Amino acid sequence: MSSQLIYNIGMLVTPEGNEARRGADQGRLKVLENAWIYLENGSIVACGDRNQPMTFGEKYDAGGRLVTPGLVDAHTHLIFGGWRQNELAMKIRNVPYLDILAAGGGILSTVKATHAATEEELANKAGRALDEMLSFGTTTCEAKSGYGLNKKEELKQLKVIKALNKNHPMDVVPTFMGAHALPPEFKENREGYLKLLCEEMIPAVAKQKLAKFCDVFCETGVFTAEESRRILQAGLDNGLIPKIHADEIDPIGGSQLAGEIGAISAEHLIVCPDAGIESMAQGGTIACLLPATSFYLNSTYAPARKMIEAGVPVAMASDFNPGSCPCLNLQLVMNLGCLKYRLTPEEVLTAVTLNGAAAIGMADRVGSIEAGKQGDLVIWDAPDLNYLCYRLGSNLVHAVVKKGNFYRGN
């Protein structure tokens, strides 16, 4: 048995519990000064402050620094070939995201590049992205398929996720997103692709246990709310939990559907109407907000405060993808949560730890520093949480601890 004691923690800050925190609870954290954490075999056994001294285990001096739970990135499109730097010039000329897609670019250009890559190439590339995420303090992430758009290629992406989860220290939680765009060969046959998704792809993914969630891009020119309902219902019928990209560009009913169908999370919600917030509150859906995408698309920001006031738990994630947000850094997402959503640092920390974990069904294992959870922590070059949320553009990681193993940041 291995035992470790991380001591001389200037400030330990964590949300508490095994489920998403909502309303005023989102901003309620446990704070211990002069604290320690005791780990056995990579799991947290106890933590305390100077009033409860602890002396055994292999010792690690945190040097008076801030310690939080490892960050959880609950929304990424991790597996893809190529990049889309050619779209930057169009963005600068204000060509809309959906126009690039409608012209056969955007997602569809990444689909071509992903088809052209082998499993090994995709795994190597995504593995480097995971290394970078870990260096920024992320210890658990979600990863979507969605650049295959046919059975063989979607399964290829999901197999890469499975291999990464096995071979990389990061916990990687898989989501099937075959409903990311209509493939060009089905342009005149939407029904044909919906049938393929619901009757062949989803059952195959479920049978091979390659995904835990089923996601759909509910958006103008992509999938309607009714089509999204059909796809998510087929997922449910096969044991896949629904997620939905909703209200990113146009409010076409995605957030209302999320609450109605009992989606675990709804993503983006940049232009979420009040009726959508109400429906998510009723249905117990977590709002997974992606502020770096708003920044990158030069759009507005999701009504995060309204959601918290309505009792909808707010998570925040990177949305890492080659088009609308080529960003792996959750520290930047935390800055934007404070400065653009006007959330407090306490609400922001919950959003990128426990609520992110809950959005991917991992809140019983990660997302807080408590006895029984995995030893996933970040030791920050910061004295307190305010400092972490206030500095901009640096990597403040001193060390990342994943299941008790130490990885250095800068």
Q: In the complex, which residues of this chain contact Zn ion (CB under 5 A)?
A: 319
Q: Indicate which single residue of 321, 329, 331, 350 sits in contact with ligand IZC (rule: CB under 6 A).
A: 321
Nearer to ligand IZC by C-beta: 37 or 111? 111
Nearer to ligand IZC by C-beta: 105 or 259? 105
Is 111 one of the binding residues for ligand IZC (CB under 6 A)? no
> Minimum Å distance from CB 177 to ligand IZC?
8
Q: What is the DSSP letter of 185?
A: G
Q: Which one of the spans 106-114, 128-136, 255-263, 383-391 is the region binding ligand IZC (CB under 6 A)?
A: 106-114
Alpha helical stretches, state H, 93-146: 97-102, 107-115, 119-135
Nearer to Zn ion by C-beta: 73 or 381? 73
Contacts of 123 (CB under 8 A, 6+ apart): 160, 163, 164, 167
Is 323 one of the binding residues for ligand IZC (CB under 6 A)? yes
Q: What does the angle CA 221 – CA 236 – CA 161 come to, to the nearest 5 degrees? A: 75
Nearest Cα to Cα of residue 187 among 149, 243, 145: 149
Write down how long the chain is. 410
Nearer to ligand IZC by C-beta: 218 or 277? 218
CB atoms within 10 A of CB 353: 32
Q: What does the angle CA 382 – CA 387 – CA 392 come to, to the nearest 5 degrees? A: 100
- Residue showing the smallest CB distance to Zn ion in the complex: 319
Q: Which one of the spans 103-111, 131-139, 230-238, 368-376 is the region binding ligand IZC (CB under 6 A)?
A: 103-111
> Minimum Å distance from CB 374 to ligand IZC?
29
**Rounded distance between C-alpha atoms, residue 342 and residue 363, angstroms:** 25
Q: Indicate which single residue of 110, 256, 318, 344 sits in contact with ligand IZC (rule: CB under 6 A).
A: 110
> Minimum Å distance from CB 388 to ligand IZC?
27
Q: Which one of the spans 39-47, 102-110, 117-125, 350-358 is the region binding ligand IZC (CB under 6 A)?
A: 102-110
Q: Indicate which single residue of 57, 148, 251, 322 sits in contact with ligand IZC (rule: CB under 6 A).
A: 322
Q: Indicate which single residue of 6, 39, 107, 198 sits in contact with ligand IZC (rule: CB under 6 A).
A: 107
Q: Which amino acid is at 315?
A: A
Question: Quick one: tokens of 187?
Answer: 């342009």
Contacts of 391 (CB under 8 A, 6+ apart): 382
> Minimum Å distance from CB 202 to ligand IZC?
19
| Cβ burial 75-89 (10 Å sphere, 16+ → b, else e) | bbbbbbbbebeebee
Antiparallel, parallel or unpaired: β 43-48 and 30-40: antiparallel
Is 117 one of the binding residues for ligand IZC (CB under 6 A)? no
Q: Total number of residues binding ligand IZC (CB under 6 A)?
A: 10
**Rounded distance between C-alpha atoms, residue 68 and residue 349, angstroms:** 8
